[in-house]
Structure 1
Amino acid sequence: MADEMVRRAQQFINRTYPNMLGIPALDENGQTGWTTMFALTRALQYELGISSLSDTFGPTTLTTLASKFPKLNASTTPSANFARIIQSALYCKGYDGGDIDGKYNSRVASSVAKLKTDMGVDGAFPGGDLVPKVFKGLLNMDAYVTVNSGSDGIRSVQRWLNGRYVNRADFFVIPCDGHNSRDVSKSMLYAIQYELGMADGTANGVFGPGTKSGLKSHTVSSGSTGTWVSLFSAAMILNQRPVSFSSSFSSSLADAVRTFQSFAKLPVNGSGDFQTWASLLVSYGDQDRKGEACDGVTKITTARAAALKADGIKYVGRYLTNPSTTSLPEKAIQPGELQTIATSGLRCFPIYQTFGRDASGFTYPAGRAAGYAAVNAALDHGFKPGARIFFAVDFDALDADVTSNVLPHFKGIEDSMADAGNPFKVGVYGPRNVCTRVAEAGHSSASFVSDMSSGFSGNYGYPLPADWAYDQIVTRTVGSGDGKIEIDNNIASGRDIGENSFDKPRGVLPDVRFLGGYLNALHDDIGKYMQSIGFPNDGGNRIFSHTQCFETVLANDDVVTAQSNRYSMRKALIQTSAYWEMRHYDIIDQAVDAAVVYYHTGVGGGMTPKRDSSTGIAQISGEVGIRAWNHCITKGYVSGTILDPAKDADIWTMWQKVNKDNAYALQTVSLIHLWDAEGKPGGQNPPAGETTLRSMRLDYTESEIFQVLRRYQGWGEEAEEHATKRMALYQIFEKYNGIVRNQ
């Protein structure tokens, strides 16, 4: 909602500093935001005579301000524009700034005093003078009153921290909005270090050896009083434990501590001992704790299993797939490994992770693909129905990323799992905030928390999720000799205990002819998925319905099976490309095809002739068909006549075949995939060219499958987006092909 005084503040910046601050003119929309705060910061730097302007109110700005104007008031404010910056900032922060008339009057002084009271620094900086650290806090987007259902208890801690430590060199005013955050959590570590006697410059807000050592001698318990109890109760409050902020360690605080210790699987004694302090202050807690669970990228052999058991490990997390063909060769579960785990008395919980290292890798279609792929891989390895698969979110996801990408992704996983009949439970691996929000959205049943990544935004300032099953805290090495293995050490809550009984693994077998008894199920699953991404079963604005596309592809199952067996290529690759392309055929494609006919035959008219187009059920152009066939003929994969894509007659010959002969088009799909895998020599490639994949094989990784599907369409954002959507379609075809070939 627009605020007229904020609009006037934006107008002041635009009219006073045109082309002077190194930023575009502000939108005069009356809405406070970082853009306006950055502009005010730059205006302040300009008035201070700082030559290199920045969005950041950093050390240079603070030092220059402190040296020139340690206290700003009606007598010391150097200019009208300087006062207007203060007045404008007050309005952007929600306080009365007077008339933005360049006067540090009583209204401004009163608002500054109110701001300092809200910050909790009125004791350190009494009165209406504006001091540098308060000015720094004024020029950001932090709130100093509770917002968005903030906690009064947390706000009381925030104000106390500000008031007690604001005069320390490296402590700056933190928000007082009733919410824990990265800055608030770090301020707690500064406070601990200051109380331990660390000097300015030594205290750094890091949970290092000095802080750990000091905390070990500051256990608090029933009857304790003083600042250390205040800090401990503050840490409990910031972890959303129901206690009062107090300097006295009461019996109710002791009860709450015991509840927290039980929840976090700490020794239950009701005291603020080192392990409890550590768990409250940093996500990974005391990294010397030995957990009962681990996960890793190394095969569990008999010797390694013995080493793990000797170290107290009961549960082992292993990956269902490895998207890479070159790194971490033992990341995915290896043949015979699950049986070794079970025979050794250990239990295994499966993890599914691909290359999703930023928000762009998480979408609803990608989630659908992930769910189907994980089900297929779990069945391949022999996991029985009921096992919980932990789907990984292994990047520093901001809260906005969770909303825009992660939650839709897990909705996709949930939907695909439901379509499969819910054979497996869905778990989530990731930072605390990710795990909590996915669980609260109803998309997961337990969390595997990446607390070892303590610097992640989703771990800093967030409590341990209520449904945590495994808490990953440190990497360490166990065993020696043949039993030596590096693991991520995990605390186990008992909410998930993995699996110790497995079905016989499904082998890497060649595909066979499809069985009619599964046609309806496959038809319905594909229809559900395509509808979920915007393709109604009746075809919508496309030429062909779902049923028409499905029946066309499956009617040529003998051709597809033959191509699959001949080239060690999964049938699903051919089926997916053909179905996807036919499903997209629309009236524009129809018109372009007519223009090609007109170009080569003169039949038709009333249109611009066109030499070539993507055509037929698999949308193959004459040129692409020629290049794929030529490549495969040259390689000896297939026999045939070499054609010249520069000749109209040859283009027309190939175009007619892929347009009219469905069996020929499906055969050509397989040849295009072979050509794609070998780098598409002679084709239209991205500037850097296409890499050469491993030769076509039945055990292609998901990344290789993605590349083949993407290359069929070309390159660029649309090809990447469509390939992501086709991955789910591939996994649905592969699910039923897998069932049939394993009967």
Structure 2
Amino acid sequence: MADELVLRAQRFVNRTYGDKIGMTVEENGRTGWSTMYALTRALQWELGISPVSDSFGPTTLRTLTQRFPRLNSTTVPSANFCRIIQSAMYCKGYDGGDIDGIYNESVQAGITKMKQDMGVDGVYSGSDLTPKVFKGLLNMDPYVVVKYGDRPGDEDIRSIQRWLNGRYIHRQDFFVIPCDGHHSRDVAKSMLFAIQYELGMADGVANGVFGPGTQAGLKQHTLTVGSTGTWVNLFTAGMILNQRPHIAFSGTFTSELSSQVFEYQDFLQLSLSGDGDYSTWASLLVSYGDQSRSGSACDCVTTITEARAQALRAAGYFRVGRYLCNVPGGRDKMIKPGELQTIASNGLSCFPIYQTFSNGASYFNYNQGTRDGLDAIDWAKYHGFKDGTRIYFAVDYDAYDHEVTSNILPHFRGIHRAVQENSRYRTGIYGPRNVCRRVREAGYTDASFVSDMSSGFSGNLGFPMPGDWAFDQIATVTVGSGAGAIEIDKNVVSGRDLGQSSFDPGASTAGLDVDFNPAYRDAMLQEVRSYLESIGVPETGGDGWTDKDWATLGGISNTKAFELVLSADWLFTSLARQLRLRKALIQAPVLWELRKLNPLDFAADTAVKTGVKDDCSTGWGQIFAWVAIEARNHCVREGIINGPILDRGRDLGSVWTQLNEDAIYNIKTASYLTIYNAHQISRPRPAPDTSEADSEQILARYNGPLTVDGKPNEPALEYGRQLMGLYRVLEKYYRLSRNQ
């Protein structure tokens, strides 16, 4: 909703400074960073700083401090200077009166209230605007409790934020932090500054980094029952910020606090004492905690040889995380033939990791998650991982919370559905704390492998350890020597995942379909078009179409049908590999049905949507919901896929909607229908070596029974003959892709 006062502030900065500061802001009445940046630039222009920038950095702070250490009604240098203050106050939610350029009673009351909200009123009393408070005015940090999405603010955390501001704002490198009731990167860094100040570090030495000096100092400040003072305040603050329950922000280390510390130590697998010792301090302040503590698991990109396995076991490592596959152009890090047997024979276990190009938000989406889930199943079977194995899917970058919502969660929904439906494996996640937490809360994983070594990630700073953590990655170390030397990432274990210590024989992938080689695209398209035209299917139009209908309803040409199917080649390939059959056998009817869509099909869909009919063939593969139910139930009963047995009466509507709206669901159903069709005509389950004669009859069954009243069903048989020709064209180029 637009705010009239914010709109007036935007108009002021645009009209007064737009041609001077190199930017204008959208006049929409909504506070945002662009408006704050413009006001910051306007302030710099008034101070004579050139060039101006978005940042209220050291130069701006130093110049403001030298010239106007206390701004008030007598020291504000100009009306426009005051208007900048008033405009920023509107954007920050404080009353600045009118934008009249007067440091009036409203401005004074608003500045006083903001300093109280910040917790700095005990240091900067009265209504004067000081440079550090001005810096806090020109950003988007709230100083009252707010709710972010589903995360409400916490008054106890706000009390800590205000206490930190009030106690340390006079120090050179400490700036006002938000007082919104949420832990964050700024709050985490402010805690480290506070620790360093209490250790006696001078301004310019204290830097907010968990370095050797800070670590050495903390080792001298173990807290026990009866301890009092600022160190206890900081310790209880750390416990609250890490979302430990039933903790009061206090300066006294009570027996009740000791009990809560004991539980926290047990949760993180720290030494159990109930005291505020160094390892506990470290875990409260940085994600990786005390990196010297022992871990009994590791992950690595290096092949585990006999010598390395022995070195790992001698060093106390019993569980090893290894990668299921490589990626083109990447490092060779995948499990090698015989490696899992080497791991098992040396008394170790293995937990598999699936990672491709998972290092940026653009990689993550529902379709890619579906593909990753299916591919991970394929690789896990190839290596011989048994049912029940948990596969950890990687999010190996600093994902912001909004990216978790827009990209990561849909991606893991795809993974979860693919793994749950097509295997008996389990789904885990590797990533920063916030990513792990949110994906688990969405129900897509049941254990987290936490990348806590990346302590600077925004997804680790300010977030507690997720409750379902299995492995905590804390340090890179080298163990062993000579042939046994190996660099690993050390992991602390919770016991939630023991890894796998025995394996099935690996499943062969020889002869299975692979991704289509795009070098063959043009030739394949030309041959598909030529074949379709040879059997009476023109590029556009055809049975059921008039020129007018084609133009208004948007018919699908031969070329468009081909392009749509090829766009989903990744899915057809993954399904074909999972089900051990030829993808052309799934693709041929889907391509045909896409091309054959006509006005009657669109009308039938509308009839179902409006409740006139309860079912019709729909979606890419033109599949009836009742047929989808029968096919899926058959595959569930045969143990081919997982899921509940569907009921035609209860589930017809929801299945039809998924077939109509979700192309992935429709294509997957087409693949299950291929298997079911073979069953219906008493043919063996389709395989890579299924004969052309059987393939033709399976394709024919897609269009109905092969006989009716004991006589050949010619429409279905003709359908099979026509699709068999299309199958041969597709398979020709897929064979070339397999054999390249």
Name the TM-score class by shorter chain: 0.7 to 0.9
By how many angstroms is 1:21 displaced? 1.4
* Matching residue of 2:457: 456
1:344-743 paired onto structure 2 within 5 Å = 344-420=346-422, 422-511=423-512, 585=595, 662=726, 665-666=729-730, 669-670=733-734
After superposition, the C-alpha distances for 1:210-266 in whole angstroms (9 at most, x for unaligned) are: 111111111111100111111111111111112111111111111111110000000
* Matching residue of 1:294: 298
SS of equivalent residue, structure 2 residue 19: coil
Q: Is the 8 A contact 1:229 1:247 kept in 2?
A: yes
After superposition, the C-alpha distances for 1:427-452 in whole angstroms (9 at most, x for unaligned) are: 01000000000001111000000000
What is the rounded CA distance, in whole Å, between the counterparts of 2:79 and 2:168 in structure 1? 32
The residue identity in structure 2 corresponding to 1:507 is: S
Q: Is 1:168 aligned with 2:167?
A: no
Q: Is the 8 A contact 2:373 2:416 kept in 1?
A: yes
After superposition, the C-alpha distances for 1:695-742 in whole angstroms (9 at most, x for unaligned) are: x659xxxxxxxxxxxxxxxxxxxxxxxxxxxxxxxxxxxxxxxxxxxx
By how many angstroms is 1:497 displaced? 0.7
* Matching residue of 1:141: 140
1:316-331 paired onto structure 2 within 5 Å = 316-324=320-328, 327-329=330-332, 331=333
SS of equivalent residue, structure 2 residue 170: coil
* Matching residue of 1:2: 2
After superposition, the C-alpha distances for 1:283-316 in whole angstroms (9 at most, x for unaligned) are: 0001111201101111112211111111111211
* Matching residue of 1:271: 275
Q: Is the 8 A contact 2:153 2:182 kept in 1?
A: yes
What is the rounded CA distance, in whole Å, between the counterparts of 1:170 and 1:227 in structure 2? 20
* Matching residue of 1:686: none
Q: Is the 8 A contact 2:384 2:505 kept in 1?
A: yes
By how many angstroms is 1:541 displaced? 7.1
After superposition, the C-alpha distances for 1:654-701 in whole angstroms (9 at most, x for unaligned) are: xxxx99953663255348x65xxxxxxxxxxxxxxxxxxxxx659xxx
* Matching residue of 1:206: 209
Q: 1:318 to 1:660 in 2, by over 3 A?
A: closer
1:70-149 paired onto structure 2 within 5 Å = 70-148=69-147, 149=152
Q: Is the 8 A contact 1:542 1:584 kept in 2?
A: no
What is the rounded CA distance, in whole Å, between the counterparts of 2:313 and 2:481 in structure 1? 13
Q: Is the 8 A contact 1:42 1:54 kept in 2?
A: yes
What is the rounded CA distance, in whole Å, between the counterparts of 1:191 and 1:576 in structure 2? 63
Q: 1:659 to 1:186 in 2, by over 3 A?
A: same
SS of equivalent residue, structure 1 residue 169: coil
SS of equivalent residue, structure 2 residue 18: coil
SS of equivalent residue, structure 1 residue 104: coil
* Matching residue of 1:709: none
Identity of aligned residues (%): 59
The residue identity in structure 1 corresponding to 2:277 is: D
What is the rounded CA distance, in whole Å, between the counterparts of 1:388 and 1:59 in structure 2? 49
Q: Is the 8 A contact 1:381 1:505 kept in 2?
A: yes
Q: Is the 8 A contact 1:283 1:460 kept in 2?
A: yes
Q: Is the 8 A contact 1:10 1:28 kept in 2?
A: yes
Q: Is the 8 A contact 2:584 2:727 kept in 1?
A: no
SS of equivalent residue, structure 1 residue 390: strand
- Given the two structures, how large is their TM-score scaled by the length of structure 1? 0.72
Of 142, 153, 158, 1:155 maps to 158
SS of equivalent residue, structure 2 residue 107: helix
By how many angstroms is 1:576 displaced? 8.1
SS of equivalent residue, structure 1 residue 67: helix
What is the rounded CA distance, in whole Å, between the counterparts of 2:37 and 2:56 in structure 1? 9
The residue identity in structure 2 corresponding to 1:449 is: V
What is the rounded CA distance, in whole Å, between the counterparts of 2:592 and 2:73 in structure 1? 75
What is the rounded CA distance, in whole Å, between the counterparts of 2:477 and 2:493 in structure 1? 16
After superposition, the C-alpha distances for 1:497-522 in whole angstroms (9 at most, x for unaligned) are: 1111111112342359xxxxxxxxxx
The residue identity in structure 1 corresponding to 2:63 is: T
What is the rounded CA distance, in whole Å, between the counterparts of 1:490 and 1:306 in structure 2? 18
Q: 1:575 to 1:85 in 2, by over 3 A?
A: farther
Q: Is the 8 A contact 2:589 2:723 kept in 1?
A: no
Q: Is the 8 A contact 2:226 2:252 kept in 1?
A: yes
What is the rounded CA distance, in whole Å, between the counterparts of 1:406 and 1:583 in structure 2? 33
* Matching residue of 1:187: 190
The residue identity in structure 2 corresponding to 1:385 is: D
By how many angstroms is 1:407 displaced? 0.3
By how many angstroms is 1:328 displaced? 3.0
What is the rounded CA distance, in whole Å, between the counterparts of 1:510 and 1:584 in structure 2? 28
* Matching residue of 1:38: 37
Q: Is the 8 A contact 2:592 2:723 kept in 1?
A: no
SS of equivalent residue, structure 1 residue 379: helix
* Matching residue of 1:251: 255
Q: 1:386 to 1:542 in 2, by over 3 A?
A: farther
The residue identity in structure 2 corresponding to 1:197 is: G
Q: Any gaps of 5 or more consecutive residues in structure 1?
A: 513-539, 554-559, 565-569, 589-657, 675-695, 699-743
Q: Is the 8 A contact 2:585 2:727 kept in 1?
A: no
Q: Is the 8 A contact 2:440 2:446 kept in 1?
A: yes
Q: Is the 8 A contact 1:469 1:496 kept in 2?
A: yes
The residue identity in structure 2 corresponding to 1:18 is: G
The residue identity in structure 2 corresponding to 1:115 is: M
By how many angstroms is 1:173 displaced? 0.3
* Matching residue of 1:343: 345
What is the rounded CA distance, in whole Å, between the counterparts of 1:579 and 1:48 in structure 2? 72
- Given the two structures, how large is their TM-score scaled by the length of structure 2? 0.72
After superposition, the C-alpha distances for 1:614-647 in whole angstroms (9 at most, x for unaligned) are: xxxxxxxxxxxxxxxxxxxxxxxxxxxxxxxxxx
1:58-69 paired onto structure 2 within 5 Å = 58-69=57-68
Q: 1:697 to 1:134 in 2, by over 3 A?
A: farther
After superposition, the C-alpha distances for 1:115-139 in whole angstroms (9 at most, x for unaligned) are: 0110010011000000000000000
Q: Is the 8 A contact 1:382 1:505 kept in 2?
A: yes
What is the rounded CA distance, in whole Å, between the counterparts of 2:483 and 2:40 in structure 1? 60
SS of equivalent residue, structure 1 residue 20: helix
SS of equivalent residue, structure 1 residue 348: strand
After superposition, the C-alpha distances for 1:562-592 in whole angstroms (9 at most, x for unaligned) are: xx9xxxxx9867678877866764889xxxx
What is the rounded CA distance, in whole Å, between the counterparts of 1:72 and 1:18 in structure 2? 24
* Matching residue of 2:12: 12
Q: 1:584 to 1:169 in 2, by over 3 A?
A: farther
Q: 1:541 to 1:356 in 2, by over 3 A?
A: farther
What is the rounded CA distance, in whole Å, between the counterparts of 1:150 and 1:667 in structure 2? 58
SS of equivalent residue, structure 1 residue 199: coil
SS of equivalent residue, structure 1 residue 17: helix
Segments of 4+ moved more than 2 angstroms: 326-329, 507-512, 540-545, 570-588, 658-671
* Matching residue of 1:604: none
SS of equivalent residue, structure 2 residue 387: coil
Q: Is the 8 A contact 2:588 2:727 kept in 1?
A: no
Q: Is the 8 A contact 1:542 1:583 kept in 2?
A: no
Of 217, 220, 232, 1:229 maps to 232
By how many angstroms is 1:338 displaced? 1.1
